[in-house]
Amino acid sequence: MNRKDVFDLTDRVIVITGGLGQIGRQFTLELIDRGAKVAIFNRRIPEDAILSERFPLDPERLAFFAVDITKKASVKAGLDALVARWGVPHVLVNNAGIDTQPSAPPEVSGPFEDFPEDVWREVLEVNMTGTFLCCQAIGGAMAKLGRGSIINVGSIYGMLSPVQDIYAYKEAITGTPFIKPVAYCASKSGLYNFTRYLATYWGRKGVRANILTPSGVRRDTQDAQFQANYCQRMPIGRMAEEDEFNGALIFLASDASRYMTGSNLVVDGGWTAW
- Residue 83, domain CATH: 3.40.50.720
Domain that includes residue 192, residue range: 13-269
Alpha-carbon distance of 188 to 270, in angstroms, equals 19
Residues of the chain with pLDDT under 50: 1
CA 40, CA 19: separation in Å to the nearest integer? 5
Domain annotation covers residue 49? yes
Separation between Cα atoms, residue 273 and residue 91, nearest integer Å: 30
**Beta strands 207-214; 148-153: pairing state:** parallel
Q: Does some domain include residue 171?
A: yes
Domain assignment present for residue 3? The answer is no
Beta strands in 3-104 (DSSP E): 13-17, 37-42, 62-66, 91-94
In a domain, 82, yes or no: yes
Q: Based on the structure, what is the number of domains in the chain?
A: 1
pLDDT value for 247: 98
The tens digit of pLDDT for each residue in 33-42 reads 999 999 999 9
Report pLDDT for 175.
84
Q: Which pLDDT belongs to residue 2?
A: 58
Predicted TM-score (pTM) of this structure: 0.95
Q: Report the alpha-carbon distance of residue 69 to residue 247 in Å, rounded.
A: 26
Q: Indicate the burial class of 206 (C-beta count within 10 angstroms; 0-12, 13-18, 19 or more).
A: middle
Q: Among 157, 155, 138, 123, which residue's Cα sits nearest to residue 209?
A: 138
Tell me the C-alpha to C-alpha distance, in Å, between residue 128 and each of 69, 78, 99, 124, 195: 10, 19, 13, 5, 11
Cβ–Cβ under 8 Å, residues 38 and 17: no
Is 4 domain-assigned?
Answer: no
Q: Please indicate, yes or no, if residue 7 is contained in any of the structural domains.
A: no
Assess contact for 154 and 98: CB atoms under 8 A.
no
> Per the domain annotation, does 8 fall within a domain?
no
Question: Within a domain: residue 6?
Answer: no
* H/E element, 38: strand 37-42
- Nearest Cα neighbor of 91 from 55, 154, 39 is 39
Cα end-to-end span (Å), the chain: 45
